[in-house]
């Protein structure tokens, strides 16, 4: 039996295939090419020089952001099979929770004190909230309509 191909709502396609992959590419760029800025904004402190070990880890992080962007943009773009979309988006939802946890060392303020957020906090918290909300809505079937709207 062939997988069920579905025409997905524009809001999901736009967010998951364009907006979020581009934001991950921006994160990859900063994590690899602008490490001092990335670390300073993330830790809310300044760095004179990024140590070699930290630089390597930052480049590995950049590679993971690139993986995230390519996985989401290319794998999801390649199919309308809801099983594939559900699987990829579920895995990314788990990663969202891990990402939110990763900034917990800054303190609870980071989760909601907009007045203290810098540019990277906007990406690390509310943008992740948005992504997680979009994934939860998709996984719950919000806006997907009846299963009879399959395309052959």
Rounded (5°) CA angle 120-95-56: 60
The per-residue pLDDT for range 2-35, each reduced to its tens digit, is 566 678 999 999 999 999 999 999 999 999 999 9
- The tally of domains found in the chain comes to 1
The tokens of 5 are what?
């191909």
By residue range, what is the domain housing residue 30? 5-144
Determine, yes or no, domain membership for 41: yes
Give one DSSP letter per residue of the chain, joined into a string.
-PPPEEPPPHHHHHIIIIIHHHHHHHHHHHHHH-HHHHHHHHHTS--SS--HHHHHHHHHHHHHHHHHHHIIIIIHHT--BHHHHHHHHHHHHHHHHHHHHHTGGG-GGGGT-GGG--HHHHHHTHHHHHHHHHHHHHHTTTT---TT-EE-
Determine, yes or no, domain membership for 150: no
Determine, yes or no, domain membership for 53: yes
Determine, yes or no, domain membership for 103: yes
Determine, yes or no, domain membership for 152: no
Determine, yes or no, domain membership for 151: no
**pLDDT score of 1:** 60
Percent of the chain with pLDDT over 70: 93
Global pTM value: 0.87
Q: Give Cα 2 distance to the centre of its chain.
A: 30
């Amino acid at each position: 039996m062939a997988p069920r191909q579905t025409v997905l709502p524009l809001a999901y396609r736009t967010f998951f295939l364009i907006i979020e992959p581009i934001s991950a590419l921006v994160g990859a760029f900063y994590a690899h090419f602008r490490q001092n800025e990335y670390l300073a904004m993330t830790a809310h402190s300044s760095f004179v020089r990024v140590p070699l070990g930290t630089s390597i880890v930052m480049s590995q992080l950049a590679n993971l952001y690139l993986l995230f962007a390519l996985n989401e943009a290319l794998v999801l773009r390649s199919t309308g099979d809801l099983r594939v979309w559900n699987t990829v988006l579920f895995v990314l939802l788990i990663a969202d929770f891990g990402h939110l946890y990763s900034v917990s060392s800054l303190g609870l303020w980071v989760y909601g004190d907009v007045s203290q957020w810098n540019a990277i906090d906007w990406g690390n918290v509310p943008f992740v909230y948005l992504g997680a909300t979009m994934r939860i809505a998709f996984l719950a079937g919000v806006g997907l309509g009846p299963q009879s709207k399959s395309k052959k």
